[in-house]
Amino acid sequence: MGTFCKPCSPSFSRLVQLSLVWAVFVLLSASGMVAQAAGQTWKNIAAGLDYAVFLSGENATQAGEVHALRIVPEQVSFRLLTSSGQERESRPLKDWVQSFDLAAAINASMFWKDQRTSTGFLKNFEHFNNESIHPEFGAFFAFNPKSADQPPVRLIDRRNEPEWRSLIAKYHSVVQNYRMISARGESVWQPSDESYSVAAIAMDTQDRVLFLFSQSPRSIYGLNQTLLSLPLDIRMCMFVEGGPTAGMYIRTEGFEKGWRGVSDKGLWVEKPGRLFKIPNIIGVEQRR
């Protein structure tokens, strides 16, 4: 018996192609690998600053929002502000932004029980908040280069960059924390039942910086899968804070929004309206 072949007319070929595309989309959607961007576009909110909110997950609801601020380093200035360096008390992110006239701010790092000292290496020019390199933290965010021949910012993967010590020595401001996504573009977290609100800093393949915030608690592994599926073009990503002390705040002319972390566990039980004080932040300043 011979093989039956449908005549390959242009319309039939087109129908087959569309069917295959739709089948792939359905499979990806079922596996949670398709994510949507609210409005499908970035909104320019100031020179060098673009904002977008992405919806992820099966229902693409507000609970799955990932807020992203995309920053062109050459058009702004980054500032590392610490309560120890400023000789002031810790304060909520909004207060940091308003007090120092910043366009945006995000946590610089996790901190110890003294509510002041970073858990990882943290220096800003001549001031050291923490001089110790944390043995388990594999990422450094470095900015304010000491010479003009260096990139304005670097996100350094300690595990994949043998010369990491010499690289961080070329910058006045350096923050250390956990890797989320390596310089190879791979998630470095294992699946876990633990979930948190997460603040993170990433860089894309065009060397733009991304401030990222997920308020809805989720596992780092799950968040990594989401971030890699979104149209963010992430090259590497570093964790900066989790739980109710995580946050991000944006304040430009005509656009002001802030987000804070939530939790329902132990010490960090959520209290309505409470704004946690943050000792160390990375701010973005518009150039004048």
* Mean pLDDT for back-to-back runs of 10 residues, the chain (288 residues): 32 36 39 42 95 73 81 98 87 95 97 94 97 98 98 98 98 98 96 93 98 94 96 97 96 95 54 73 93
Asked whether residue 13 is domain-assigned, the answer is: no
**What domain range includes position 113?**
37-286
254: left (phi over 0), alpha (psi -120 to 50) or beta: left
φ and ψ at residue 109, rounded to 5 degrees:
-175, 170
With respect to residue 18, please indicate whether it lies within any of the assigned structural domains: no
224 phi and psi angles, rounded to 5 deg: -60, -45
**Helix ranges (DSSP H) in 64-199:** 83-86, 93-99, 164-168
Q: Are strands 255-260 and 247-252 parallel, antiparallel or unpaired?
A: antiparallel
The string of pLDDT tens digits covering residues 3-46 is 323 333 333 233 334 344 344 333 433 333 334 444 448 999 99
Does any domain span residue 114?
yes
Q: What integer pLDDT is reported at residue 189 of this predicted model?
A: 96
pLDDT of residue 262: 86
At residue 274, the pLDDT reads 57
Q: How many domains, the chain?
A: 1
CB-based contact 185:236 (threshold 8 Å)? yes
Question: Is residue 21, in this structure, part of any structural domain at all?
Answer: no
- The reply to whether 273 falls in a domain is yes
Query: Residue 45 burial (CB < 10 Å; 0-12/13-18/19+)?
Result: buried
Distance CA 93, CA 108 (A): 11
DSSP H or E stretch at residue 142:
strand 139-145
At 124 the three-state DSSP class reads: strand
Residue whose token pair is 């039956």: 4
Cα end-to-end distance, the chain, whole Å: 79
Which secondary structure element, helix H or strand E, spans residue 122, and what is its range?
strand 122-124
Segment 199-228, tens digit of pLDDT: 999 999 999 999 999 999 999 999 999 999
9 within a domain of the structure (yes/no) = no
Q: Is residue 28 part of a domain?
A: no
Q: What pLDDT score does 206 carry?
A: 97
